[in-house]
Each structure stands twice: as structure tokens, then as C-alpha cells.
Structure 1
Amino acid sequence: MSEQKTFHLGFTMAGAVSGGCYTAGVMDYIFEVLDKWEKAKKGELETVNSEEVPKHNVVIEVMGGTSAGGMATIMTALYGLRNTINPVTDEHVNNARGIKNNILYDSWVSMLDDNKLKTLDIALSTNDLKGGKVSSLLNSQFIDQLANRAISMPSVVTDSSRPNYLAPDLEMIISHTMNRGVPLKVKFPNNTNDAGLQDAPYHTSFEHFMVSHFKLPDGSFQDNKEYFTLDIDTQNTINRLKKTAKATGAFPIGLQYREFNNQDFSAAYLKNAVTRIISRKFGESNPQIENSDIDWDQKTLNQYHTTSVDGGAINNEPYGEVLEILRHRTKDNVNEDFVWSKEENSDDPVSRHEYQKAGVVMIDPFPDTISPDDEYEHPENLVDVGSSIIGTLWDQSKIKRKEMVEQFSNKAYMGTIFPVKHKVENNKSLGSYKYPLCSASLGAFGGFLDIKFRHHDFYLGRNNARNFLRAFLSVPYEKGKKVHPIHRGWTKKMIDRFLITIDNKTYLPIIPDINMILDDEVSNSEIYKYSVPKFPKLTMNDISNAYYKQIKGRIKAVLQILRLGISGGNAVLRFVLLLAPVRYFSRKMAKKILSIIENDLESKGFLEGSKNKLNK
């Protein structure tokens, strides 16, 4: 029965570019609540009577992420493992700038902004081009600086005791897209065993998806062979986490690719990781495929070197991988996966139901949806076909086959936190906004334009997480009929405080929000309360004055380097290209970029004077 007092969770954080500030806000609120709940159960919150506090347990078993979500996952793990929970609450809402001693806010909102420079100033600077090489459209040194600051050994001794809501053998997976794939060979031997066909070629495919799979050390695995250790008190782990964060966030072309070799991924680790990927055995440290002996290309494994471009190019939401780890961790010989089986012959009606014991929560700042207005347009010519191929290949590489097939047979809890903001009058909704995130502008790069955008999105993440905990991270409750094991023993006072009613059906939360006790609220008290109620707006004068010269300067520097590279050793071609009006093109392109920024911000409602649209 004690096991039935524990609910097991996994978190997945999707890729989001600058929208990682929203994910950071979500996780900041969730960890604030988990931290307060743990303290309340111990009687350490003076204003909370421990008799009002639910006593069941919630344990985070695994976290996974990609790109910006992967970076946020690493920072969240450090936030929790170091037990340095310092939430950025509404008392800071009118002060966006400055370091808050909160790894999530400082990394995703404050970034590198100070009184003289903004983070985008660094991203547009040209000091990364002095060697005559272009690695990315933006100067990615700001990513290096942020990672080095956030992911480091603590300068002061912190509370090393890990909170009870983190599993003692916590796992973390971060997605990568590798330019060099690991060969997977299939042979067609036929039945004749003809000696002349013994050297017939293999059919070879290549696995370009890779994960950095971390686990808290429990003495059962070898570092860089089965997993990477998540012992954050060692410099080796810190260095690996830095590189992992930079690599998963290396947005293709826009941000710098990262290099890996056998020092990063040993041959043994590559075998284990690829086997997990192709067999979906993410919960096993040394996975085996039944009746199969993979013919590994030893040269590739033992001399592996590659570049990594982002994680989202192949798998932007690794919830299936997180779910497989959770399945393995909670599986037993009595119950079906993810549930405690019902006792069909019991006289107690409460026992005659299945109850979930595990689930996954995904944080997705930009969910992929199908618009009813989308219509397929046939290409008119070869150029149209060519331009559509990249999108086709990208969509195909990210398809979730197993997850799609199992979605209705999978009994795990599954929920998603995504941006929602309502237009509110007299505490009633007049509709939800079409673009609730400022960072949704400019193809998700909009958050880099101004700290006010990131500040708004961080707090919206906190507000959406609050509503999710108080309503949707819940299980059905019917007194005397359907009571989840974690809620048995709850007092009437607890039930009255936390009860959720949606469409005349009642539920109780998996994670009780202790802020409801502290603020004397019930579940629907703050549905339409937003810490930053108004959307921040920018003016084109401010944007032009801040960035026009830097945009023009970076374009000019990039064009000059590319011009020399294209000419190669051909003196005639070099002479011709030297006549190309680089200054003219850099001015034209900079003005075009500013025009794109203006049109996009205006269409989404983030330009001064523009309106924020509501969903139809």
C-alpha cells in the first residue's frame, strides 16, 4: 500500500528557440510548488497547518528535452539537484532586469543584458568572424557565455541534500541531430550460399538521431559506456553538460554547430544509445535485441567524430523516450503498465477501478497543429518543388510512429502545458489570444529582441503552470466510488480545498498547490489572473536604433568572407567578386530584415499601435 502512495512523473521539454523562457517559467512554478509541499509536509512552513497538507508522494523519475527545451531540462535538473529553489514570484514582476539568483530566469530572461548591451548585440557582433570563417548566421558566443555561467561548479557550498521529489537515480535524456550517422547494415544472403555472392553489398541505413543519456550514479553503470553520470559535483560532468546544452541548442545554420568525437561518445556508449533508439529500450542500461546481432561498423564506432546541429531537426519532443524510461521504472509483474489494476471481485466499489500510477507532462511553447484554413497548393515549377523538399524531409524525420499507434492503448497519464492567455474583463474571458507568446515572433527568435518579451513569456509560463497543476494534472474523484490511492486518507478539509470541478465532474490534483493554502484560495481562484496582464510592445524606431548598424555590419562581414571562399584560388573570379557591391547588398538586406521584423511584429500584435488578435 505504501507504493500506492507514490505517483511517478516524467517531464519533456520541447524545442522552442527563444521560447525557452516560457518553459523556464513553467518549471520555476512547478519546482516552487514541489519545494513548498515538501517543506509543508515536514512542518517547515509556519503559516500552514500540517493537518491540511496531503501526505502522498510525487517523484520525478526522468526528464528529457530538445534544443531550447534540452537546455531548459539541464538547467531544471541543476536547479533541483542543488536544492537551490528560489522562485521568481510576482514580487519581481515590475523589475525585469538584473540577476535573480535563479538559474532559469537568469539564463532565459536576464540572459546577458546589462545597462550597456543587450544579448542580441552580442549575437550580431562580428568578433567570431576574425578568423575568416563563418560558423553560423548569428555569433553564438552568447550561447557559450550563458552555458558557462549557468552550468558551472557552485562558488559557494549549497545544500547538497537532494529533495525527495527527485528520484535517487534520476535520468535525463537530451536529443541531438548528428551530421554523421551510425551505419546500420542489413545483409541479403539468399539461400544458395553461393561463394561468389559472399561479398554482396549490405543494405545500409544511417542513424542520425542521438541522445546524451544521463543518470544519477547508483553504482550499477559505467560512465560513458552505458550512461553519462549526473554527478554534478564533478567538473567532468559539468563540462559534459555544457557541451550537451550547446549542442542540442545549435539551431541549424542560425547558431553554431558543435563537434563530438570518441572522447564524448565512446564506442560502447554509441552501441548502447543506438540500440536503445532502434529497439525503444530506453529504460535498459545495456539493451539487447532478441534474435538479432547488429553488424556494427567498428571503424565508425572507434573513430567517431561528427558535428551536431540542434536536437529538434529529428526529434523535437522526446516524450516517447521519456515514457519508455518511465514504463521500465514502474513496471511490475502484477499490474499493467502505468496503472494499478482493478480488483474486479472486490466488494469495495473504490477498488473496482484502474488507477494511474505514472505519467508524462510535456511543456511545448509552440505545439504543432493543423489549421482548418491550411490547403495544399501544387507547385508551379522546379523551384517550388525544391523549396518544399526541406519541409517534407524535416516533417518526415520527426514523425512519431510508435507513439501514434500506442496513444489510445497507453494507460499512462499524459498532459501538456502550452501557452494560453485570455482577454479578460471583470474576471471573465472574452476569448484566447492567437499569439500568447511574444517569443513566437520571427520564427521563435523574437524573444531575443527585448528582455520585456522574455519577461512576459516567463511569467505566462508560471501562470499556465499554476492553472495546469490546479486543474489538469489531476485524476478523477467520486466519493465512495472512485478514489485514487494517493487521495485515500485525505481529510474533508483537504478535499474541499483542492477539489476540481470541470463539466460537472470532479477531480483531485496529483501535485497539490500549497500556494492555495498560503493564499486561502480554491482551484478556480486565479484562472484568468496574469502576472503581466498587458503585452509588451516595441517601436520600429527603438529596434532600428538598437540593431540596424549591427545587422548591416554582420551581413557585410559574412558576405566578405563568403566572397573570398567562393573565389577560392581563382584570381579572375576573385577579382570579379571583389567588384561586387557588398556595402550595397548589406544595406539592402539589413533594411529587408527590419521590414520583415516590422511586418511580423505588427501581424502578431507586438508592435506599438498593433492589436493582439483573438482566436476565432
Structure 2
Amino acid sequence: MSTQAPEQRAFEIGLVMAGACSAGAYTAGVIDFLLEALDAWEEAKSTGDPRVPDHHVLIRAVSGTSAGGIVAALLGMLPFVERAPVTDLAGAASVDDVANGDRNLLFRSWVKNIDVRGLLNTSDLHREEGVVPSLLNGEVLERIAEAAVAEVRGATLKSVPRPPSYIANPLQIFVSFTNMQGIPYLIRMTSACGVQGHWVTSHAGCAHFAVYGSGSDLPGDRPPGAIAVNGEDTVGFSTLDGWDWLRDAALASAAFPGGLPARPFRHCRAEYVDAHWFGLGNLPIPDSAMHIAPMLPFAIGSQSPQFWCVDGGLINNEPLDYARAAIAKSRGANHSSDARLADRSLILIDPFPGDDPTLNVAPTPVRICSLRWCRCCRSCARTHNSSRRRWRKHSTTPTGAGA
């Protein structure tokens, strides 16, 4: 009779990072501390101390919007670069005095290399064009993103440190953005007046990446629809390794309308032509697929159509659905919410958690109706905003559970 303990399956985690504007520095700090804690835990387990919990956790997927999208992209780079946690932040007199500040990609990107002087610089204004792209100078974020990509590319060409055991290989990253042009769909119907059907436009965009080499396990299969980053045969080839694609998605996700310039993003045409609609996170889950072909006259002949995008928070500020679908699909059908039975969970990092304003006012009919009407209008605008007014004059959509 064998006395060997059965192998424990890892408790899987999906990290979700909400839009946060400059409070992305808060989100970055949470991620920095989380990785520091996981590193310390792994080191403690290696000592064999029976007092140390010996179970295993695995970060399977990360999703982010706006500032959260930038942190998600940086998290995908951290396994390859030097990782030194920021420590004596409270005792530092300035950002230059923070221990490990120069050795921490998150701290450099969110604190040290960005300030209001750079954002108010006018180097992005060109007199000959006569155009003001945004209130703030978006070139600052471009330089920070370029520096991060250059660092991770340089690291992958060297002997990178052993990747952490608590990150999946590949790590799935979802970056949401708002497609200003939108993807038009025609829901075909039969009509006596010759109308083809009902036109709708989807402005909700998401780029799905699979970063290879992020964890110590052997690389798994590429998830359906994911853009491979740092694939085995692409290291050293900047046009193939996918890091530029991840950078562009993060910048598009954080393009706050008016505050920062709109960003171009070039997506795979197949992601729209072959896409299926699903009930959970719009990912391939068996027996829930529905195919509706988009109408893409502007992209015919192009394998990578380009769209102009702005902040993903306009549509989906807390992209829980993508990370939830990723960890739900990674295993069987055990989706128990009982803490004693669950083997996976989401962690939402949101510097500005929302709350229901109707709970903080006296329950008079006028106040409740006014607040509900404003929330309904906001929800409709987020869900059904269309750039082609001629397709419809009015749109009213029920919201909430059971709608």
C-alpha cells in the first residue's frame, strides 16, 4: 500500500485590474507586494519547515483595463527581468531614495519616470499640423512603454532568472480597449420592406495574449484566439515576438478620451471573422457558441485591420469576465463558490471600488428614479454606443440580472 500523499492541484488565480488613471501606481504596488509575498512563501516552503503551508497557487490569467491594462502588460514582463521589491517607501525622502526603485520595473514605470512636468510638455504639438491630440502629452507613456519592451527583449536574449513556479506558462493576459470605429454586425431578419435585418455595432475590444516562458512549468498549448508572445522560435525577432503587440494594446487601453491621444491598434482579422459569441467571457466554452459574421468592408484583403482606440474603461472598466472564463476553462466543471471546495478564484484590484449611490440617499421616488435613470443611460451608452447614427435613432436596452 502506497503511503505517498496524492499530488495537490494548484489553486488557480485570475487577477483583474480595474481602470484607475494615475492610481495605477496603487495597482502596481499591490502587484509588487503580491509577488514579494509569493516569492517569500516559495522560499519558506523550500526549507521543509512543517509550519509553512505547502499548497501551491498558480496565477493563470490577468485581465486589465486602462491603468490596469498597463500593469497587466508589465506583469507579463516581470518574470524575465530583474525583480527587486520596493521596500522602504515610507522612509524615502524622494523617489530617488527608494530602495530597489531603479531595479523595479513597476516602480520605474509608474512613479520614477513619470510626473506632471512631462505630461504637460508641449513636444507633442506640431504647428504645421495645427492639431492638439490631447490635453496631456502622450509621448511620455510611449517612451515608458518602449523602455519596458527594450528591457524585456534584452533580458530574453540573456540567461534570464528561473521563472516563478506560481505563474502559469503561458500566462494569459487580456487587455480591454474601446474601438472607436466599432465592429458592425448584421442580425439577419425577414422583412416585407426589403430590410436585411438589424444592424448593431460592438465597440468593446479585447486583445488576448499568451506569454511563454513566464512560469517554470513546461509550456502549455496556446489558448484559442491568443496572440503568442515570446514564443520559442521568435526570441530575438522583434517583428515576431509579440511584445510590440502587447505594448500597443496597453497604450490603447489607457488612452483616456481627451486626456491622452487615441491609439491605433492592429488586431488579427481572423479574430473578428472567425469569432464566436459565448455566454461566459466570449471564450470557447463547449456547447455555448454562436457565430455571427461581422461586416468588415474596410478590412477586406487585410489580415491585420487597424482601429483607433481609446480607454477600455468606457465599456468595461472591471474586465472580470475574461479572467473568469480563462480559469473556468482551464479545468473541469467544478465552479463551486464554497470556500471549502473551490479550487480557483478571482482577485480584483480596484483603487476606486464602486458603490450603489441609492443606498446613501433618502428613498424618495424622485431621487431613486433620477439616479436609476442616469445609471440606465450610462449603461446603455457603454453597451450600445454606435458611431453610425443612420443605423438607428434610438436604442433602449434592459440592464441587470435577468435582463
Q: TM-score range by the shorter chain?
A: 0.7 to 0.9
Distance in 1 separating the partners of 2:34 and 2:104:
14
Separation (CA, whole Å) in 1 of partners of 2:256 and 2:11: 35
Cα distance, 1:200 vs structure 2 = 3.0
Return the match for 1:253 from 258, 275, 290. Answer: 258
Deviation, structure 1 residue 178: 0.3
Specify whether residues 219 and 32 from structure 1 end up closer, same or farther in structure 2 by C-alpha distance, changes over 3 A only. closer
Rounded to whole Å, the distance in 2 between the matches of 1:124 and 1:298 is: 38
Secondary structure of the equivalent of 2:261? coil
Give the deviation of 1:210 after TM superposition.
0.9
Residue 266 of structure 1 contacts residue 301 of structure 1 at CA under 8 Å; is this kept in 2? no
CA contact (8 A) 2:183 2:296 kept: no
Q: Could you say if the C-alpha distance between residues 359 and 369 of structure 1 is closer, same or farther in structure 2, counting changes exceeding 3 Å? A: same
Q: How far apart are residue 309 of structure 1 and its match? A: 0.6
Q: For the residues of structure 1 that align with 2:281 and 2:318, how far apart are their CA atoms? A: 17
Superimposed CA distance per residue, residues 537-558 of structure 1 (whole angstroms, 9 cap, x where no aligned partner):
xxxxxxxxxxxxxxxxxxxxxx
| Partner residue of 1:19 out of 2, 20, 23 | 23
Q: What does 1:315-464 correspond to in 2, within 5 Å?
A: 315-332=316-333, 336-338=334-336, 354-371=340-357, 372-374=359-361, 393-397=377-381, 405=401
Asked which structure has the greater RCO (Cα within 8 Å, sep 6+), the reply is 2
Q: Which residue of 2 aligns with 1:265?
A: 267
| Aligned residue in 1 for 2:37 | 33
* TM-score of the superposed pair, with normalisation by structure 2: 0.77
- SS at 1:159 equivalent: coil
Q: Which residue of structure 2 lines up, in the alignment, with residue 129 of structure 1?
A: 125
Q: What's the counterpart of residue 184 of structure 1? A: 185
CA contact (8 A) 1:179 1:208 kept: yes
Are 2:281 and 2:324, in contact at CA under 8 Å, matched by a contact in 1?
no
Q: Please say if 1:238 is aligned against 2:243.
A: yes
User: Which of 105, 109, 119 is equivalent to 1:103?
Assistant: 105
Q: Flag structure 1 segments of 5+ consecutive residues without an equivalent.
A: 44-48, 113-118, 191-195, 341-352, 380-384, 407-616
Kindly tell me: are residues 296 and 320 of structure 1, through their superposed partners in 2, closer, same or farther at Cα, counting changes over 3 Å?
closer
Q: For 1:241 and 1:124, locate their aligned partners in 2 and report how far apart those are by CA, in whole Å.
A: 26
1:337, CA displacement in angstroms?
A: 1.8
Q: How many residues align?
A: 356
1:6–1:357: 8 Å Cα contact kept in structure 2? yes
Structure 1 CA distance, aligned partners of 2:166 and 2:318?
23
**After superposition, what is the alpha-carbon deviation per residue over 1:319-358, rounded to whole angstroms, capped at 9, x for unaligned?**
12211111111224xxx32479xxxxxxxxxxxx951111
5+ residue gaps in structure 2? 213-218, 384-396
Q: What are the Cα deviations for residues 486-520 of structure 1, in whole angstroms up to 9, with x where unaligned?
A: xxxxxxxxxxxxxxxxxxxxxxxxxxxxxxxxxxx
CA distance 1:138–1:392, shift in 2 (3 Å): farther
- The aligned amino acid for 1:13 is M
* Residue 267 (structure 1) shift: 1.5
Distance 2:139 2:13 in 1: 35
The amino acid that maps onto 1:128 is D
Secondary structure at the residue paired with 1:151?
helix
Q: Aligned partner of 1:330: which letter?
A: R
Distance verdict in 2 for CA 1:91–1:173, change over 3 Å: closer
For 1:147, the aligned partner's letter is A
Cα deviation, 1:384-426, whole Å, max 9, x if unaligned, reads x9xx999764444558x999649xxxxxxxxxxxxxxxxxxxx
Verify: 1:309 aligned to 2:310, yes or no: yes
1:275 aligns with 2:272: no
What TM-score results when the alignment is normalised by the length of structure 1? 0.52
For 1:71, the equivalent position in structure 2 comes to 70
> Which one has a larger percent helix, Structure 1 or Structure 2?
1
User: Could you tell me how far apart the structure 2 residues matched to 1:106 and 1:241 are?
Assistant: 19
Contact 2:281 2:321 in 1 (8 A): no
Q: Greater CA radius of gyration, 1 or 2?
A: 1
The CA distance in 1 between the partners of 2:41 and 2:119, in whole Å, is 40
The corresponding residue for 2:176 is 175
**Alignment-derived partner of residue 148 in structure 1:** 146
- In structure 1, the residue matched to 2:216 is none
User: How much identity, in percent, do the aligned residues show?
Assistant: 27
Contact (CA 8 Å) 2:32, 2:85: kept in 1 or not? yes
Report deviation, 1:141.
Answer: 1.1
Give the secondary-structure state (helix, strand or coil) at the position aligned to 2:230. Answer: coil
Are the aligned partners of 1:83 and 1:161 in contact in 2 as well (CA < 8 Å)?
A: no
Partner of 1:344: none
